[in-house]
Structure 1
Amino acid sequence: MTIYLPELSSTNFDFPSPFEALDDPNGLLAFGGDLNPERILNGYHHGVFPWFGPNEPLLWWSPAPRAVFIPDRFKPSRSLRKYQNKMQYRVTINMATEQVIKYCSSTRPAQETWLNQDMCDAYIALAEQGHCQSVEVWQDDTLVGGLYGLSVGTVFCGESMFSLQPNASKVALWYFCQHFVKHGGTLIDCQVMNPHLESLGAIELTREVFIDSLHQRREASMLKDCYTQQDITVTLPKVNNE
């Protein structure tokens, strides 16, 4: 099968409309360009993100339907609450962004990861510019889990997560959802649905609904201290043993 894709210009950071993305493969929109942080950020502002495997060209995607979390509806499972009551993981924001990005890359088999060195460098550069945020989960002083993504207005575009200990990435998501909502956050983009995301409560939006939601939120402002370095806490309800 022959696929015809627009090639991105090397001299500007414009993207085709996400509504021009292919149905098969789902969401493939364009190729080429580069991983300049400004280009990546512009992509996310239009619902487009880079993803490509080993030995593939740089590909840009905007899939439909779009997997998202509605953060104020996120409910940790009883077992997760019980586990965190026992373990008391410490959760922080933007304390170790570079480490989180590198762990998200290194903890996956080489043939499965799209997060190569060039991608890592690009998101680390975005973190230095204040656009890429991370959530860290600590057991004592050891980083055991976390997630990262880009902040776009009151939307958080989740990129990847990792766990070195049970439930660590789930705790990161749980704590972040509460923190995010308290600071004005409205939507978490997680790109493409999979069984793990679905088990955590992700839902799917049509491309039209997602893009409209993104356009309404991308210029809105969070409370200014949302992404400052800090510990994140939630109220841990008591969970009775059964």
Structure 2
Amino acid sequence: MSLTPDLLLHGYSVGIFPMAEHRNDPELFWVDPRLRGVFPLDGFHISRSLRRRIRNCGFSVTVNRDFPAVVDGCADRADTWINGQLRSLYAQLHDTGHAHSLELWDGDTLAGGVFGVTQGAAFFGESMFSRRRDASKIALAYLVDRLRQTGFQLFDTQFLTAHLASLGAIEIPRHEYRRLLDQATAGSADFTAPLSQTPQGVIQRITQTS
């Protein structure tokens, strides 16, 4: 299957997304899960230990500073569904403002991050990675806080993993997901809006809503 960025965005808008069997497989296929993973934006679970890590980790947080490196970090594992065609498509979506990354830095070293695709007020989370302890959890906390502050209504995680469930993600039926999707894609949000995301501010806002 050969995809264009416009066709990819259309797929997201109707509730499907592409994957490859592995990084070296040139073929892509559409996925339409019967049960869809989503992150309620007011339901992020922040434990006391995670609060301490956010306060004390010393990571700096950026948005879209190095999108290609985040995609590569997510693909740098034994099993990945991100093949060359998807990597190229994500880069093109990033260039047109439809894909974004959030990075954690340990000095000048990329410690972790997450990236996804946006349409209207929907954020389609693609993948995340971690090179330091708890970096993916910390990245998700900053991401949820950013999505809430910038007007997003839907945080799609595609599938539900034990890791995501421990942080508050849930599964919903396909028909419920599509209802939420229609509402969110008709809305508007600005992922790159300038924000002050201090560790204490992120913890306070998430704690108030979780």
Provide the TM-score with structure 2 as the length reference: 0.89
Q: Distance in 2 between matches of 1:128 and 1:69?
A: 26
| Deviation, structure 1 residue 232 | 3.6
RMSD: 1.8
Q: Could you tell me which residue of structure 1 aligns to residue 148 of structure 2?
A: 181
Q: Distance in 2 between matches of 1:230 and 1:212?
A: 30
Q: 1:231 to 1:51 in 2, by over 3 A?
A: farther
Query: Does structure 1 residue 235 correspond to structure 2 residue 196?
Result: no
What percent identity do the matched residue pairs reach? Answer: 37
Q: 1:196 to 1:133 in 2, by over 3 A?
A: same
* Secondary structure of 2:34 counterpart: coil
The amino acid across from 2:5 in the alignment is P
Provide the TM-score with structure 1 as the length reference: 0.78
Q: Distance in 2 between matches of 1:178 and 1:86?
A: 18
* Secondary structure of 1:71 counterpart: coil
Query: Does structure 1 residue 76 correspond to structure 2 residue 46?
Result: yes
Q: Could you tell me which residue of structure 2 aligns to residue 49 of structure 1?
A: 17
Q: Distance in 2 between matches of 1:205 and 1:93?
A: 29
Q: Could you tell me which residue of structure 2 aligns to residue 221 of structure 1?
A: 188
Deviations along 1:140-190, one digit per CA (max 9) or x if unpaired, are 221110000001211110000000101111111101111111111122100
The amino acid across from 1:208 in the alignment is H
Q: Could you tell me which residue of structure 2 aligns to residue 148 of structure 1?
A: 115
Q: Distance in 2 between matches of 1:51 and 1:221?
A: 27
Q: Could you tell me which residue of structure 2 aligns to residue 35 of structure 1?
A: 3
8 Å Cα contact 2:45-2:166 kept in structure 1:
no
Q: Distance in 1 between matches of 2:114 and 2:40?
A: 17
Unmatched runs of 5 consecutive residues or more in structure 2: 205-210
Deviations along 1:41-65, one digit per CA (max 9) or x if unpaired, are 1101111100121447321011021
Q: Distance in 2 between matches of 1:183 and 1:220?
A: 12
Q: 1 or 2, which has the higher helix percentage?
A: 2
Whichever of the two has the greater Rg, that structure is: 1
Q: 1:124 to 1:68 in 2, by over 3 A?
A: same
Q: Could you tell me which residue of structure 2 aligns to residue 63 of structure 1?
A: 33
Query: 1 or 2 for the larger relative contact order (CA 8 Å, sep ≥6)?
Result: 2
Q: 1:183 to 1:218 in 2, by over 3 A?
A: same
Runs of 4+ in 1 over 6 A off after TM superposition: none
Unmatched runs of 5 consecutive residues or more in structure 1: 1-31
8 Å Cα contact 2:112-2:132 kept in structure 1:
yes
